[in-house]
Structure 1
């Protein structure tokens, strides 16, 4: 087992998601909340210029700039693309990183609660999911394209040997909520505790299985030929993240009074419902399948 020696906790990848920014500030003032016996942890403010402008990003979404081929492309040189190259030099380089685990802190305007997003598959991730779910039963475990090799992922957290996202909502953009900030802190603390126990081979007995949701695809709001929106997310779906949608269930209410129904052939589970940040692409929600993660037994138990 290869121990984890360096952990980076990243906030402000999106400049208007305030919980992660203020949480890493808290950790800087109270480093005892961050450190553990078996590793060194530190913080990184990913996109300070976007925060100063009170925007998600200046030129491009920073959390979509971390494919290896994009990092290696000098022609990709706008602010966020250049910032990604700097971050890769600090945390990575991706593929041979200095940092063993990246914890990237995010907010969503959607009613998702505290979500641990796993970007890769493997025993470490499944054990982490089991530990977080055991300590924080209200947490949701999400797998985001974990079939892809890390070098093809665009996400910042994939610069490390391991990488996860802590995603908590609902929280409006450029706003702080006490409950959301505290949930983000709690989940981050559980992750840090897990890593320390993992390193010292002192993990408790974990559940044999964990319920999780795996991303399938996203669906867009209905638009006309000119790209103008024809309707909105149906009230039956709004705020019902990770609740089942069955074939034939209404998912959009058109402005002319008609409804559009889900036309898939199996039950799905929506997330990022009506996420404000995705309106520039007319994305209405992500659809997921429910899966079971098998948690490997802890050595010695």
Structure 2
């Protein structure tokens, strides 16, 4: 893998996720906080218009617009679709990007704590997960490597390497110090790791570590007309990354009934009851626990 030299730190991909936005403002005033030997670091406020209107997005989710076919489709011209093309031109283009590495900063309303989402499971990403976990034992590492980088639609997929920093719980349009502090610390650790990786000086990592791999997303219960008829069960609410086994209650119906988990694997829910996902009626993501090697 070639050395990483051009790094983009992105905040405000969703206009009402405030931690990354306020950190960008801080770093733009004090760029020395991000400066690292051998790295040229560029900051980007991705969706200023949505932030001005205190919304997640204006027309559609910006963080779902970066699949190559959409970026190349000139008929997709709403605000976020156009903004994605502009960001792709600035940081990319995807597949031959000017940026070597993108760190995209996000908040979630779910009780996920400091979570690092990795889009690939190559040596760089496996070691990055181990390094962050060593520096932040409270962190959680999630691999969303179920599709190729080309097929990913996240902003972070524009570069050959990209990660998503996802910290919660934080309500939309709110700043919490603990959440912001976690985000800043994780970003600093990621940048420190990149410097060490470039120098081939990554040492003292364990041979393996516990992480999670995304498997699927579950929707809230619906009737035949698509009307919501239930909610996340109280035993699952706020229990991100706590195991679910077959037969555990997962949804409570508004008529008092329950729906139990029927999967054939031990599942670790996260993004539980994320407020932003209600427009798609999504209840949570499910992952499997995995052991990741660092060699």
Q: 8 Å contact 1:214–1:291 — kept in the other structure? A: yes
Q: 8 Å contact 2:91–2:99 — kept in the other structure? A: yes
Give the Å deviation of 1:202: 2.3
Cα distance in 2 between the residues matched to 1:217 and 1:122: 21
SS in 2 for 1:150: coil
Cα distance in 1 between the residues matched to 2:2 and 2:178: 35
Where do 1:6-155 residues align within 5 Å? 6-144=6-144, 146-155=145-154
Cα distance in 2 between the residues matched to 1:193 and 1:121: 19
Q: 8 Å contact 2:146–2:214 — kept in the other structure? A: no
SS in 2 for 1:104: strand
- TM-score, L = length of structure 2: 0.98
Cα distance in 2 between the residues matched to 1:190 and 1:211: 18
Runs of 4+ in structure 1 deviating by more than 4 angstroms, as ranges, are none
RMSD: 0.9
Cα distance in 1 between the residues matched to 2:291 and 2:265: 17
Q: 8 Å contact 1:38–1:200 — kept in the other structure? A: no
Q: Does 1:208 align with 2:242?
A: no
Residue of structure 2 in register with 1:233 after alignment: 232
CA distances 1:56-90 after superposition (whole Å, capped 9, x unpaired)? 00011000000111101100111000000000001
Mean alpha-carbon deviation: is it higher for 195-204 or for 174-183?
A: 195-204
Q: 8 Å contact 1:66–1:84 — kept in the other structure? A: yes
Cα distance in 1 between the residues matched to 2:221 and 2:230: 6
CA distances 1:232-256 after superposition (whole Å, capped 9, x unpaired)? 1000000000000010000011111
- TM-score, L = length of structure 1: 0.96
CA distances 1:238-276 after superposition (whole Å, capped 9, x unpaired)? 000000001000001111111110111221100000000
Q: 8 Å contact 1:34–1:42 — kept in the other structure? A: no
CA distances 1:196-235 after superposition (whole Å, capped 9, x unpaired)? 1111222232111121111111111112223222111000
Structure 1 residue runs of 5 or longer lacking an equivalent are 297-301
Mean alpha-carbon deviation: is it higher for 166-175 or for 248-257?
A: 248-257
Q: 8 Å contact 1:274–1:285 — kept in the other structure? A: yes
Give the Å deviation of 1:46: 0.4
Cα distance in 2 between the residues matched to 1:35 and 1:208: 30
Cα distance in 2 between the residues matched to 1:202 and 1:284: 42
Count the aligned residue pairs. Answer: 295
Cα distance in 2 between the residues matched to 1:129 and 1:198: 13
SS in 2 for 1:243: coil
SS in 1 for 2:150: helix
Give the Å deviation of 1:40: 1.0
CA distances 1:268-289 after superposition (whole Å, capped 9, x unpaired)? 1000000000001111111111
Residue of structure 1 in register with 2:289 after alignment: 290
Give the Å deviation of 1:170: 0.2
CA distances 1:88-137 after superposition (whole Å, capped 9, x unpaired)? 00111000010010000000000000000001120000111111011111
